């Protein structure tokens, strides 16, 4: 996705998820090349592709595991989990949630402008040193305790997944959880505290813990797949696997990595779509060329409609029909009158004024809120939020 040559269309038609691992990998490139200037330009370019108004920063999956073990319900409803900052309530009982700022997103916006601190370089070096120490065998070898030495070698991912199901049905839950946490970098004390909370709130069972169970299943399948040589045995596989911890919170997942693709296809549900990266990139280029060939008047008319144009066999068009509405291009956007805009602004300002008195609250569900908002950083070369197809600088951000 980061190598796509139509990032403006990706951000125009889709919401991209920003897991912490992505920001860390981009930061790691800051000390990748011998040329500091070249590395700086690389990070700037990657940050520009990722950090946009359409990007949604995700809560670290480790925090989700801790929350689920502590008694919270982790919804796997194809929407990313974000950090809540505060919740407030109006006099008419309207609930307003403010999403907390994301450290990863703030870093990316800074890097977009080639602003790098000494700490950025230190963290980049530390990341690359950690990456060099990675060895999948360290976390794969302990899995041999869960199956017989006489177990026949597995020749396909399907057979590996069957073995994983057998292990989950027979192994003691605390041993499975301990392996999962250790594999994902929890300290000894962190594991002990996690187990304590898990036993106190969930009686040490995996029952009704769908997210933890999923993480065990896919992590174990990945490691066993490498043990049985179903997959290649690259160091980067362990980093690529972390992205799949967010798979249950997506409607669609795209990659050109064979390791990620195989696992994603096997674990995605019927209400999700795997999108081969090459097909997506080809379709985006096709849409870009189509829009570029339109007259200014026709392009302006197209911008009055939601989503990508209805091109025959367009992958983006199919995704919108699947996840949005099948007739999303049937009618143009509703144009509000000046009075409607004025009243909407007044209503939103009233809600936002109330939210200033919000209190920290991590328990209120997003579905229970009347308004969810957060501060955003917009760049003049971002797509304008009005969906005109122009950049912010050439549209509503243009100085009068």
Give yes or no for residue 354 having a pLDDT over 90: no
Give yes or no for residue 385 having a pLDDT over 80: no
Residue 163 maps to a domain:
yes
**pLDDT computed for residue 300 by the predictor:** 86
Give yes or no for residue 399 having a pLDDT over 90: no
Buried b (16+ CB within 10 A) or exposed e, 32-49: eeeeeeebbebbbebbbb
Over range 226-244, report the average pLDDT: 95
Residue 253 maps to a domain:
yes
Give yes or no for residue 362 having a pLDDT over 70: no
How far is it, in rounded angstroms, from Cα 347 to Cα 352? 9
Q: How many domains does the chain have?
A: 1
- For residue 329, give the DSSP letter: T
Give yes or no for residue 26 having a pLDDT over 90: yes
Q: Please give the full DSSP string across 46-91, using - where no structure is assigned.
A: HHHHH-STTEEEPPPHHHHHHHHHTT-----SSS----EEEEEE-T
Over range 159-184, report the average pLDDT: 96
Residue 242 maps to a domain:
yes
Give the lowest-confidence range in 7-16, 198-207, 361-370: 361-370
Residue 192 maps to a domain:
yes
Over range 341-354, report the average pLDDT: 86
Residue 191 maps to a domain:
yes
Residue 213 maps to a domain:
yes
Range of the domain at 265: 134-276
**pLDDT computed for residue 176 by the predictor:** 96
**pLDDT computed for residue 191 by the predictor:** 96
**pLDDT computed for residue 164 by the predictor:** 98
Residue 193 maps to a domain:
yes
Neighbours of 365 (CB within 10 A): 11
Give yes or no for residue 400 having a pLDDT over 60: no
Q: Which spans in 83-117 are helix H? A: 103-112
Q: Please give the full DSSP string across 126-192, using - where no structure is assigned.
A: HHHHHHHH--HHHHHGGGGGGS-TTPPPP-SHHHHHHHHHHHHHHS-HHHHHHHHHHHTT--HHHHH
Q: How confident is the model at residue 368 (pLDDT cuts 50, 70, 90)?
A: confident
Give yes or no for residue 140 having a pLDDT over 90: yes
**pLDDT computed for residue 398 by the predictor:** 76
Residue 112 maps to a domain:
no
pTM: 0.91
């Amino acid at each position: 996705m980061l190598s796509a040559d139509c990032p403006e269309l990706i951000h125009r038609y889709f919401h991209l998820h920003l897991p912490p691992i992505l920001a860390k990998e981009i930061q790691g490139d800051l000390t990748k090349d011998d040329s500091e200037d070249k590395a700086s330009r690389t990070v700037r370019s990657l940050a520009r592709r990722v950090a946009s108004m359409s990007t949604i920063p995700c809560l670290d999956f480790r925090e989700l595991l801790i929350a689920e073990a502590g008694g919270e319900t982790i919804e796997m409803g194809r929407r990313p989990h974000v950090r809540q900052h505060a919740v407030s309530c109006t006099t008419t009982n309207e609930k307003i949630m403010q999403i907390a700022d994301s450290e990863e997103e703030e870093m990316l916006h800074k890097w977009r402008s080639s602003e790098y601190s000494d700490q950025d370089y230190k963290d980049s070096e530390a990341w690359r040193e950690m990456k060099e120490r990675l060895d999948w065998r360290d976390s794969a070898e302990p899995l041999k305790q869960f199956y017989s030495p006489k177990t026949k070698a597995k020749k396909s991912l399907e057979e590996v997944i069957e073995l994983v199901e057998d292990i989950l049905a027979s192994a003691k839950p605390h041993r499975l959880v301990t392996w999962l946490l250790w594999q994902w970098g929890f300290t000894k004390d962190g594991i002990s505290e996690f187990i304590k909370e898990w036993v106190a709130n969930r009686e040490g069972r995996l029952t009704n813990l769908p997210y933890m169970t999923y993480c065990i299943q896919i992590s174990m399948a990945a490691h066993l797949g490498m043990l049985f040589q179903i997959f290649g045995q690259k160091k980067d596989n362990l980093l690529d696997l972390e992205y799949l911890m967010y798979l249950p919170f997506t409607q669609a997942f795209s990659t050109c990595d064979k390791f990620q693709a195989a696992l994603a296809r096997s674990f995605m549900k019927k209400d999700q779509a795997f999108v081969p990266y090459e097909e997506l990139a080809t379709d985006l280029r096709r849409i870009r060329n189509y829009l570029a060939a339109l007259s200014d008047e026709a392009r302006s008319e197209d911008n009055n409609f939601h989503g990508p144009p209805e091109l025959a066999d367009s992958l983006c068009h199919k995704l919108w029909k699947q996840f949005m509405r099948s007739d999303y291009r049937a009618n143009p956007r509703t144009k509000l009158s000046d009075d409607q805009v004025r009243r909407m602004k007044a209503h939103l300002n009233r809600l936002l004024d109330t939210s200033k008195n919000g209190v920290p609250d991590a328990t209120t569900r997003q579905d229970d809120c009347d308004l969810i908002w957060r501060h955003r950083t917009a760049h003049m070369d971002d797509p304008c939020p009005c969906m005109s197809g122009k950049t912010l600088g050439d549209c509503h951000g243009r100085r009068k």
